[in-house]
Structure 1
Amino acid sequence: MSEKKANVQWQGAGKEGSGKISTETQALQAYPYGFGSRFGDDRTGSNPEELLAAAHAACFTMAFSFGCKEAGYDTKTARTEARVRLSKDGDGFVIDRIELTLHASVEGLDTKRFEEIAQDAKTNCPLSKALASVPEISLEAHLEG
């Protein structure tokens, strides 16, 4: 089993408040976030959806590479972009869509098998399973080379 942790320190009320995100590995160390970086154009801080996108892309890409190896293929490169959409839902908000786009180079792998491995990774990576309540998780996969 593996357990990881992060923490947030928040100060202030509502839109005027701000927070700092830190991770156990110090990949993020008191990294700022707040209303402006989540709902506005402030690019000096992060936000939960961006962090979720990074985590999902990382988990999916690793699962894809492991799936290729299990099928007898070595992944040369794999690059995934994840887009997480936060939409208004009544008085609140909901994450209603995640789009994964994979570009990979895997020697000897045909398109059909590539798509099967990518779909399996999308369905079975731990973050996809944790995000099962998201109504739409799509995958666009491109085999390169």
Structure 2
Amino acid sequence: MRARTRRLYTFAIAALLVLGAAVLAFFALRENVNLFYTPQVLAEKGMPEAGKEVKVGGWVEPGTLTYADGGATMQFIVIDNSPNTITVRFTGVAPDLFREGQGVVATGSFTEGGTFTAKLLLAKHDENYQPRELKPLEAGG
């Protein structure tokens, strides 16, 4: 076998290996992408099928947080910069940073009626976050 043919075969095998690795990485990452739906995206693309686990995110609308079952179950509305909303129901202990007006990402599934039943809540904060204990006292307060 001539040197030129050997180089061509080596290059072809290397190209196939790189292509195979890229395809495997693409399929592995596609299933593990960690994106969430906002109310606007759900309005544009439609609701996912009932029972399918997805993530929704946005801000907790002030004045919508209610408790039931002795405080074990909470319900609130998630909003974004659109007129669309998502009603979320969660049973469990909420994160310390969770409150009205703050960002939230919830993992769970939609019911047939369109209510989102969350299994996990994650509170979001901006890049200027400081724990309450470390925030400076406001003047006059």
TM-score range for the pair, normalised by the shorter chain length: under 0.3
| Richer in helix (by share) | 1
Whose strand proportion is higher, 1 or 2? 1
Q: Which has the higher contact order (CA 8 A, sep 6+)?
A: 2
Q: TM-score, normalised by structure 1?
A: 0.25
Larger Rg: 2
